[in-house]
């Protein structure tokens, strides 16, 4: 077989302008997919943040309640006494979850008020950006983003539930575009909503070494009519209830971005193939096998994919930093699974974009090069 000259191979790989456009298209798609995936991850983290950061192994609630946000339900606080009888139960705390309307500068703003045991801390703010946790009944901690948005300060007041609370601290990581959390003493919340002896959740802490699943089943028998969940089960239920609403739109937008990138890559590679028809025909005439020609196209697709992925990741990092400042309620969280899934999609995108050009190359007539 005649040896194929290196210049021919080099020429078959050259089409920098078209490939750069294809890489830019892939980069845009990668950036959009990463930003949307990162927003979804950030949203999901914010939805389950209270559950994940509350030191409770078991959550007890009304059976109809499957979220800790945007729901109001009460159960008998007396169930705590029954739960404490289990040998693996170390502590039981009450938590109120009350959707409220706060009066801020004459405007009504929906918030999620959590009334927790300030002595135990379970169900309260897990991270403070500034100030202190409530120490008195009329004190409250508000989300730092909410405070900045409405000009609230430590030492100021927030009107809700027919009275005023004095702001003692600003919490971090307690808001999203769907929900903003504030925290006050459980006893004061119970008084203001006129629900003494009741609560929304009972938070159960287990002794070290206790089997969570076994304790869940056994404590459930102690409180018939109530639902007992592990922390993981409560987080999953909350995510399904609230996060599930946004899964469809996120997936649709990510799918559109993928299709745009796929079409852009396929179109640019196809145009590049048309421009180099003569070079590919010469390669075929010199003995280039279908496998070789396919490899050349795939190499170009891989180059486009790698360059697009790197550029897209850089764009995403810059966009995430910008959003953290300009739109903190929409955090972009680039977790390893998010990045890996997106890179796998890029590999599929690049390979898929090469299919049509490969079919075109394999159907070329090598004799045309000789006739030319």
Residue 83 included in any domain: yes
- Asked whether residue 216 falls in the same domain as residue 126, the answer is yes
Of 176, 192, 225, which closes a domain?
225
120-175 confidence digits (pLDDT tens): 889 999 999 999 999 889 999 999 999 999 999 999 999 999 889 999 999 999 99
**pLDDT of residue 344 exceeding 70:** yes
- Asked whether residue 92 falls in the same domain as residue 182, the answer is yes
Q: Mutual orientation of helices 16-47 and 244-275 as an angle, nearest 10°?
A: 170
Q: What was the pLDDT predicted at 2?
A: 46
Cβ neighbourhood burial of 140 (10 Å; 0-12, 13-18, 19+): buried
**pLDDT of residue 47 exceeding 90:** no
Q: What was the pLDDT predicted at 7?
A: 38
Q: Give the CA distances from residue 131 to residues 135, 172, 287, in Å, rounded to whole numbers and listed in that order.
A: 12, 11, 76
Q: Tell me how many domains the chain contains.
A: 2
Residue 262 included in any domain: yes
Residue from 221, 258, 293, 336 nearest 12 by CA: 293
Residue 88 included in any domain: yes
Residue 188 included in any domain: yes
Q: What was the pLDDT predicted at 81?
A: 95
Give the predicted TM-score (pTM) of the model. 0.79
- Asked whether residue 270 falls in the same domain as residue 181, the answer is no
Give the structural domain span for 86: 63-225
- Asked whether residue 174 falls in the same domain as residue 84, the answer is yes
- Encode 32-58: b = buried (16+ Cβ within 10 Å), e = exposed: bbbbbbbbbbbbbbbbbbbbeebebbb
Residue from 278, 260, 292, 356 nearest 15 by CA: 278
Residue 236 included in any domain: no
CA-CA-CA-CA torsion sign (173, 335, 258, 13): positive
Residue 202 included in any domain: yes
The secondary element (H helix, E strand) that includes residue 111 is strand 107-116
Phi, psi torsion values for 184, nearest 5 degrees: -145, 175
- Asked whether residue 195 falls in the same domain as residue 265, the answer is no
Which two structure tokens, joined as six digits, stand for 2? 């005649």
């Amino acid at each position: 077989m005649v040896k194929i000259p290196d210049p021919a191979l080099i020429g078959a790989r050259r089409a920098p302008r078209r490939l750069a456009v294809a890489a830019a298209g892939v980069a845009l798609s990668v950036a959009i997919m990463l930003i949307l995936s990162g927003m979804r991850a950030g949203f999901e983290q914010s939805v389950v943040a209270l559950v994940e950061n509350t030191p409770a192994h078991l959550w007890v609630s009304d059976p109809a309640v499957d979220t800790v946000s945007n729901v109001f339900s009460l159960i008998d606080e007396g169930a705590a006494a029954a739960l404490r009888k289990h040998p693996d139960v170390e502590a039981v705390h009450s938590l109120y979850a009350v959707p409220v309307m706060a009066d801020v500068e004459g405007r009504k703003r929906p918030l999620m008020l959590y009334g927790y045991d300030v002595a135990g801390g379970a169900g309260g703010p897990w991270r403070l950006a500034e100030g202190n946790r409530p120490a008195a009944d009329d004190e409250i901690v508000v989300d730092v983003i909410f405070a900045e948005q409405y000009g609230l300060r430590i030492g100021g007041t927030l009107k809700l539930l027919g009275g005023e609370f004095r702001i003692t601290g600003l919490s971090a990581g307690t808001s999203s575009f769907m929900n903003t959390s504030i925290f006050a003493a459980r006893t004061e919340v119970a008084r203001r909503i006129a629900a003494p002896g009741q609560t929304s959740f009972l938070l159960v802490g287990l002794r070290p070494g206790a089997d969570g699943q076994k304790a869940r089943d056994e404590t459930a028998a102690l409180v018939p009519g109530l639902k007992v969940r592990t922390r993981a089960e409560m987080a999953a239920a909350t995510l399904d209830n609230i996060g599930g609403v946004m899964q469809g739109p996120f997936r649709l937008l990510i799918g559109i971005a993928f299709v745009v990138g796929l079409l852009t890559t396929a179109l640019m590679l196809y145009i590049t193939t048309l421009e180099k028809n003569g070079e590919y025909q010469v390669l075929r005439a010199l003995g280039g096998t279908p496998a070789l020609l396919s490899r050349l196209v795939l190499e170009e697709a891989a180059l486009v994919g790698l360059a697009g992925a790197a550029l897209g990741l850089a764009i995403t990092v810059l966009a995430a930093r910008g959003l953290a400042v300009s739109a903190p309620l929409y955090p972009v969280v680039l977790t390893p699974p998010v990045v890996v899934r997106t890179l796998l999609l890029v590999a599929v995108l690049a390979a898929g974009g090469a299919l049509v050009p490969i079919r075109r190359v394999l159907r070329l007539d090598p004799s045309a090069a000789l006739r030319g």
